[in-house]
Structure 1
Amino acid sequence: MHQLMQDLRYALRQLRRSPGFAITAVLTLALGVGANSAIFSLLDQALLRSLPVRDPQQLVILEGTGKAWEGSASSHGGDPESYFSYPMYGDLRDHSTVFQGLAATTTNAIGLIRRGQSDAVDAEFVSGNYFSLLGTGAALGRMLTPTDDTVGGNHQVAVLSYSYWHDKLGADPAVVNETVELNGVPVQIIGVAAPNFQSAVWGQTPAVFAPMALLPQVDARRLTALTDHRSKWLNIIGRLQQGVTQPQAEAQLAPLWHSLRADELKALGNRSPRFVSEFLTNSRLRVLPGARGLSYRRESLQTPLLVVMGMAFLVLLIASVNVASLLLVRSSGRVREFALRYALGATAKRVILQLLLEGLVLGLAGALAGVLLAPAAMHGIARRLVDAGDVTYFSSNVDARLLAFSFVNAILVSGVFSIAPALQLLRPDMISALKQQAGTSSAARVGFRRVVVGLQIGLSVLLLMGAGLFTQTLRNLRHADVGFDTSHLLTFTTVPQMAGIAQETTPALFDQMLQRLAALPGVTGVAATDNAELANSDRGTNVTVQGYTPPPDEDLDVGYAAVSAGYLSTMRVPMIAGRDFTPTDDLQHPLVAIVNESFARHYYGSAAAAIGRLMARGGGKNVQWRQIVGVSRDLRHTGPRDAAKISFYMPLKQAPKTSEITMYLRTTTAPLQTAQAARATMHDLNPGLALVDFWDMDQQIDSELSNERMIELLAIAFSVLATLLAGVGLYGVLAFSVSQRTREIGIRMALGSTRSMVARLVLLDVAWLACAGIAVAVPIALLAARSLRSQLYGVSATDPLSALVAVLLIALVSFVAALLPARRAASVHPNTALRTE
């Protein structure tokens, strides 16, 4: 310990004697460690971390396989097989023996009215045993219990999430026992959830938790949700009995699952053998790990976070290589020092430990600086991963896991970059060193420095090519033809139910909205739909088409939306055949529909053949036939990446149970200039209306491209940083090389070499280094890019333009880095050079 403390004091003294070197090395490492720490923390929260509940390793998630389904299904993201009907949940809860308990959860947008103020929020509706099953308590009051979740019982209670209570209600303790309204339904607040608990669904940040039994009262669309076997809409999370494994649970549940599915199939009546096979024979109940909870966002964030983590690792590698290069240059001036130590009896082990300790001090200092930078980086990156209002998905706090990762990272990196100087000083030429003839370096040592710089150049090319691919992807997505004109289009959404407005009065309210908004100055068109465009909403149904017999293997999911009269003309969607909807397309007139090109081609062969034909939503004997009156151009409804889907439209006045409505205003000025007037108009119409998602349509597209924008931004930032580090490293090696070759340059000039010839010698040197790094990096980059295909759009993974731009940029940086050393070499005077040793 005494020897270690002595070496530590000596290491600190050495760094204090070289403040410029120490500051440069620490800042270089801070950038690399800070970037890695920030990305790791976000990745850890999204992909690795367990829920903050009791014994999370005992939690499981249920998933029912089997694609065949007849009924309605709604999802909030992820695999539709993860959703169950409420009666199925009840049967599994009551008849399975492998679980300590099963809890159900779903999310629903609601209007929360407190003290006359309405706020559109997300609510999580949960079974009464949700909190007790998870093992999480209350910050104030109490949590929901099974007695709060009984149909017809005393269940008009709710619990606030800690973040909503703290951020929106000012942490007011008086809110407990206060009565608020959820979509007009009076509800008593009985508690506030624990501060470290958001939800069992990662990425979900509800403002309020309410008992499942309250859902039909709050949402008129869910009147039969608790009794309908044919409606799948909730997720199930369970806790295994002690000693029961997931495979054992699956095996024991198989007979129960088969029996319950057989009962559901019997209720459906006679079905085809293929349907029976998919619905029953090939269906099974899967029991999946649930320690990390459910997630509607994890899948979409996984690839972007892994890609960015890879880029951050390359930056850290370049930073460590750069510090190794700095240490190599510094160690050249310490050859005499270590030769003297060897002469006085120091062992190689003691010397290596000293150098490793100096590297460790640098690494830990860099890690500390990186950890200080990480929170700001995490917050900035999180704002680009998710919408501004959803940053609470991620915490920017520095915790023990982040500190452990950062300092372990620093220790490993410091060991790597300390090896080079340790090898260089392992066995110095003591005779030359003690004569102070250490101004020259061996060819091997100079060659090693060149390898280091070549590695930096190669890694920079990798990042530059990646940045080029992601930049082109984002540009292509921003300019993708989505099928309608997105310019000068203002959009917002409202749910009248949130203000306690009865559903039967909403059609008249929608008419008033359209009329008043159309009268606003600068508005040239107004339209409404119950299925917003480019909002990542993928609603589907099956259809019956008169005269069409589907093949046995056809299982089409057809998109649909209810839209107002003139919707397609307002959105500037071209009509291929027929007409747009008119105000007379209501319940007093025949039911009509407009289909898109894909629908017409699939079912009728052409657009012209579709006009006048009959189709219906759903199946069975009692369908409501609609006459096709128009065929419109295909739209990319879900998002710019997604292909057009077979779809149809129905008039808003002929659509049942329409509650949530999205308005579109075509304007002559910047859309957001009309937003304030639109808000005022809606407030005058009904002060309780909650208006959300006010967007310029082009801004909404940017919001939907948050992942791509984040990857592009970080790819550019990391590649620029890596290229600058490579340029600095290249300059250092060239400057050192020129100083070592002073005598050689003097002899060349004495024998007749011109300044331009000497400068060309240095530039050729850097050209060979750059070409070597590029030659190795480009093939590796092209191979690595193949793994990024899912993140690219409109650009090949082997895009030659990205490779060319990356090569030209690194060539330019290499040339700039070589200019000063080349100029210095060309200015050497032969007489001075020949006297140099």
Structure 2
Amino acid sequence: MLTDIRYALRQLRKSPAFMLTAILTLALGIGANTAIFSLLDQALLRSLPVRDPKQLVLLEATPYDAWNGGTTTNGGDNTAYFSYPMYKDLRDRNQAFDGLIAMFQTQVGVEWQKHSALNNAELVSGNYFDVLGVRPAVGRLLVQADDVVKNGSPVVVLGFDYWKNHMGADPHAVGQTLDINGHPFQIIGVSAPGFASAIWGSPADLFIPMTMKPVVTPTWDDLDLHNSRWLNILGRLKPGESRAQAQAAMAPLWHALRAAEIPVMENTSPRFFDRFVTHSQLEVHDGTKGFSYSRNSLRTPLLVMMGMVALVILMASVNVASLVLVRAAGRTREFSMRYALGANRAQIVRQLVIEGLLLGVTGGVAGFALAPAVVRVLASRITNGSGQPPFSTGIDLQVLAFNFAIALCVSLLFALAPALQLRKPDLAGQMKQQGAGSVGGHLGFRRLTVGLQIGLSLLLLVASGLFVRTLRNLRSVNVGFATDHLITFGIEPNLAGYSENSVGPLHRRILQTLAVLPGVVSVGATTDPELADDGNGGNISIQGYERHNDESMNAEQPIVTAQYLSTLRVPLLAGRYFTEADDMTHPAVAIVNETLAKRFFGTPEKAIGHMAYTGPSGKQKDEIQIVGVVRDYLHRNMRDTVKMTLYHSAAQDKTPGGMNYYVRTWGAPQAAMGAIRHAIAGIDSKLVIDSLTTMDGQIDLDLSNERMIAMLAVSFGVLATLLAAIGLYGVLAYATAQRTREIGVRMALGADRRGVVVLVLRDVLTLAGISLIAAIPVALLVTRTLKSQLFGVSTADPTIYICGALLVSVVAVLSAALPARRAASIEPSVALRSE
């Protein structure tokens, strides 16, 4: 074996061009596969780093739309949100679980050693760490006794990474105090390294008892409300119990608790009772990987990328196999000599396998070295909806094992290809060097591999064309308001310690300060930011409109300042915008969008003057007069559909909180960002500006995943086409060399050089044409799986297929140019003496 390894190394050193080409090809394919698998592993395969994660379950309530009340989500599956009273009832009265935990993530203002920042906090039930089986790195973790009395336990557990990065991993930080939203909290411990949260993709900096919610979310309590869903529940099964058994055991309790909530739902119709109680189910799902706000949105893009990169590694393997075959054809005399001297087939195959493994392992090492850089680029471009990358950039042992498994598989794939051709050696012919065509007689196999590469490259080019068209279509969507020269950022006064009475005056002062900055045209603010995948809605009712049974009356209900809609330049269709006079001393007024006006009144003009009512189930509780109608525009994201919207005046908001500001400028918005930061700091240095960016930048963030997919698809398509070109060149160069005598005879009999060029080009175009014809139906079938990721483009778009086929054809002709030129330059007399 050692002799074979030394011999293989000598052989590879004698062919440096072949060795470098093969290793580089494999490194690109294996490195890309390793990088994508690292992301796929984190998002879809990896279990939570807790005790016995297979026993964890996620609770979901169905049907989701059988609900009358408020729902606050951070994304993820809407069915997995519960009220806090429901959680306590399930926790205390169930007999199916060893424990149930609740969690909810938000941002808080943290002041530590006179430095203020916004950080991710996770409100958790007191049994959170105990049920998960997480141990402290320093100090202690939360226990049930810390989560009993509302606002009674101002303690906090630090996330390990936060403690390491912000406090230098100082163990003496435990016992000290930091301010959260202006309130002192005692640090009692640090969570274990490697554990960031039970919510994947959203690492928590701080873990705070659930009963401290009034401090963590100052303008929103809801701890005691049954009709407010906002937290997620994970549970741990009892030993030996299955999810199906737990779900069956929970059914009676679930239906009893749902029936008890009917009075607070304020809808007692038989149909609602049937959906809310009788046909409702508490479903128990696998919780091994925890809950996630972003996993569902990332699942399909990651699987698509994994599929594309798998095609790339397949092409790389086939390409190297072609190179190995061409190289093996030149070694037929060597192998024949070894057969003649007594070597058996197993020894020859072993030699080829060792050479293949050396190439594959070297390519795997190079690919593994390349993978972290690719992961860092991809992780920075994939967001979880909040703009924060949900992935770590480390490469763990599981990814390392995957990398070398791929290297081993592709090594064996292309190493055994020449061995198959040598299973019946022609010793006499090859020893006389008359059998050059014997191994080359299997040129059909090499043509097949090149044809496969051409087909795969077309498939990847079509996919890249679909994703590029999708990105272009989304980027060109008319959102309904002017996005240019527009700056946006958030301010949360409550997180800086402002009392409820001082929040409104602060916002007015900020608006006045920003409005007089040089280059500023106008300023507005809202509680519901645009194109940030956020929503703030509730039920409404309309004067004189009779609601049908179970008809959805949910509408977006942002609170906006007087100049907000005009700052966005949303066209006014009827009535008026808000004014500064629309304050608490005047009757409540509202502006609605075109969709709401047409649904209930027929035309925008007819909506003016009518009364709307807001509150749970549309109860006539808060009476509001409609004074204006504005044109529809996209709100949540670029793929969104317009929903009914009712705008409230910020000056009439009884519980003001954080707002997102929108500043329209005369010149380049980037030039005004420094002035905005300086102005906010001049008002109060404790105020933290969140996500200062341009509106175009916000749209880019909203489309970051689509842009990343398009970028990768184009990269893989170009790489695949390049690999196909290399493979095609190799086959043509070898085939031309095999036909040297034939070409010489043709030219001796009168064929001109142009005819020889046509002969070679006809060969390549025939091969490319057959490959493309075979690949198009496969591409049509495969691209159907991408339909959910596309926007404004058909999976059978003829333009994309035609362009892809033309590009592949052009590359094929260019690959054939050099072999054709060599063939045309053959001298007949030399060719006839070639053997």
What's the TM-score, normalizing by structure 2? 0.97
- For the aligned residue pairs, the C-alpha RMSD in angstroms reads 1.7
- Give 1:343 shift: 2.4
The DSSP-based 3-state class of the residue aligned with 1:221 is coil
Question: Aligned residue for 2:137?
Answer: 139
Using a 3 Å threshold, how does the CA distance of structure 1 residues 489 and 387 change in structure 2: closer, same or farther? farther
- Give 1:76 shift: 1.1
Native 8 Å contact 2:382 2:390 kept in 1? no
Question: Aligned residue for 1:474?
Answer: 471
Give the whole-Å Cα distance in 1 for the aligned partners of 2:675 and 2:190. Answer: 37
Matches within 5 A, 1:52-63: 52-63=49-60
Give the whole-Å Cα distance in 1 for the aligned partners of 2:552 and 2:367. Answer: 53
Native 8 Å contact 1:184 1:218 kept in 2? no
Matches within 5 A, 1:438-477: 438-441=435-438, 444-477=441-474
- Give 1:799 shift: 1.2
2:798 is aligned with what amino acid? P
Question: Aligned residue for 1:331?
Answer: 328
Give the whole-Å Cα distance in 2 for the aligned partners of 1:517 and 1:270. Answer: 46
Using a 3 Å threshold, how does the CA distance of structure 1 residues 17 and 389 change in structure 2: closer, same or farther? farther
- 1:412 is matched with which residue: 405, 409, 412? 409
Question: Aligned residue for 1:247?
Answer: 244
Native 8 Å contact 1:332 1:438 kept in 2? no
1:468 is aligned with what amino acid? G
1:671 is aligned with what amino acid? P
Native 8 Å contact 1:488 1:668 kept in 2? yes
Moved more, 401-410 or 520-529: 401-410
Native 8 Å contact 2:58 2:287 kept in 1? yes
Give the whole-Å Cα distance in 2 for the aligned partners of 1:303 and 1:267. Answer: 39
Question: Aligned residue for 2:20?
Answer: 23
Matches within 5 A, 1:118-517: 118-151=116-149, 155-223=153-221, 225-268=222-265, 271-386=268-383, 393-441=390-438, 444-517=441-514
Give the whole-Å Cα distance in 2 for the aligned partners of 1:836 and 1:466. Answer: 46
- Give 1:346 shift: 2.9
Native 8 Å contact 2:592 2:630 kept in 1? yes
Residues 769-807 of structure 1, C-alpha deviations (whole Å, 9 max, x = no match): 111121112221122111111111111111122112211
1:738 aligns with 2:741: no
Give the whole-Å Cα distance in 2 for the aligned partners of 1:673 and 1:166. Answer: 35
Residues 408-466 of structure 1, C-alpha deviations (whole Å, 9 max, x = no match): 11222222222321111111221110102243346741111111111111111111111
- Give 1:391 shift: 6.1
Native 8 Å contact 1:525 1:570 kept in 2? yes
Native 8 Å contact 2:383 2:389 kept in 1? no
Using a 3 Å threshold, how does the CA distance of structure 1 residues 73 and 465 change in structure 2: closer, same or farther? same
Give the whole-Å Cα distance in 2 for the aligned partners of 1:803 and 1:401. Answer: 38
Question: Aligned residue for 1:770?
Answer: 768
- Give 1:157 shift: 0.7
Give the whole-Å Cα distance in 2 for the aligned partners of 1:153 and 1:699. Answer: 39
Question: Aligned residue for 2:99?
Answer: 101
1:590 aligns with 2:593: no
- Give 1:153 shift: 7.4
Identity value in percent: 51
The DSSP-based 3-state class of the residue aligned with 1:286 is strand
1:123 is aligned with what amino acid? A
Give the whole-Å Cα distance in 1 for the aligned partners of 2:611 and 2:386. Answer: 44
- Give unpaired runs (5+ residues) of structure 1: none
Native 8 Å contact 1:577 1:631 kept in 2? yes
Give the whole-Å Cα distance in 1 for the aligned partners of 2:70 and 2:388. Answer: 32
- Give 1:18 shift: 2.4
Native 8 Å contact 1:483 1:635 kept in 2? yes
- Give 1:19 shift: 2.7
Question: Aligned residue for 1:36?
Answer: 33
Native 8 Å contact 1:64 1:285 kept in 2? yes
1:232 is aligned with what amino acid? R
Native 8 Å contact 1:532 1:662 kept in 2? yes
Give the whole-Å Cα distance in 2 for the aligned partners of 1:152 and 1:312. Answer: 52
The DSSP-based 3-state class of the residue aligned with 2:219 is helix
Question: Aligned residue for 1:558?
Answer: 555
1:760 aligns with 2:744: no
Native 8 Å contact 1:530 1:658 kept in 2? no
The DSSP-based 3-state class of the residue aligned with 1:14 is helix
Using a 3 Å threshold, how does the CA distance of structure 1 residues 266 and 518 change in structure 2: closer, same or farther? closer
Give the whole-Å Cα distance in 2 for the aligned partners of 1:728 and 1:616. Answer: 69
1:45 is aligned with what amino acid? Q
The DSSP-based 3-state class of the residue aligned with 2:725 is helix
Question: Aligned residue for 2:745?
Answer: 747
- Give 1:270 shift: 6.0
- 1:694 is matched with which residue: 677, 692, 703? 692
Using a 3 Å threshold, how does the CA distance of structure 1 residues 146 and 776 change in structure 2: closer, same or farther? same
1:105 is aligned with what amino acid? M
- Give unpaired runs (5+ residues) of structure 2: none
Question: Aligned residue for 2:651?
Answer: 653
Give the whole-Å Cα distance in 2 for the aligned partners of 1:358 and 1:388. Answer: 47
Give the whole-Å Cα distance in 2 for the aligned partners of 1:152 and 1:437. Answer: 93
Moved more, 445-454 or 64-73: 64-73
Native 8 Å contact 2:332 2:436 kept in 1? no
- Give 1:94 shift: 0.7
Residues 41-77 of structure 1, C-alpha deviations (whole Å, 9 max, x = no match): 1000001100001000011111121322222221111
Question: Aligned residue for 1:721?
Answer: 719
Moved more, 612-621 or 257-266: 612-621
Native 8 Å contact 1:565 1:580 kept in 2? yes
- Give 1:220 shift: 2.3
The DSSP-based 3-state class of the residue aligned with 2:723 is helix
1:109 is aligned with what amino acid? Q
Residues 746-786 of structure 1, C-alpha deviations (whole Å, 9 max, x = no match): 11111111111111111111111111121112221122111
Native 8 Å contact 1:457 1:770 kept in 2? yes
Native 8 Å contact 1:387 1:703 kept in 2? no
Question: Aligned residue for 1:536?
Answer: 533
Give the whole-Å Cα distance in 1 for the aligned partners of 2:165 and 2:432. Answer: 70
- Give 1:317 shift: 0.6
- Give 1:7 shift: 3.4
Moved more, 649-658 or 150-159: 150-159
Using a 3 Å threshold, how does the CA distance of structure 1 residues 452 and 732 change in structure 2: closer, same or farther? same
The DSSP-based 3-state class of the residue aligned with 2:759 is helix
Using a 3 Å threshold, how does the CA distance of structure 1 residues 89 and 114 change in structure 2: closer, same or farther? same
Give the whole-Å Cα distance in 1 for the aligned partners of 2:265 and 2:576. Answer: 38
1:739 is aligned with what amino acid? A
1:518 is aligned with what amino acid? A
The DSSP-based 3-state class of the residue aligned with 1:168 is helix
The DSSP-based 3-state class of the residue aligned with 1:639 is coil
Give the whole-Å Cα distance in 1 for the aligned partners of 2:620 and 2:697. Answer: 43
Native 8 Å contact 1:331 1:425 kept in 2? no
Question: Aligned residue for 2:575?
Answer: 578
The DSSP-based 3-state class of the residue aligned with 1:171 is coil
1:566 is aligned with what amino acid? Q
1:788 aligns with 2:786: yes
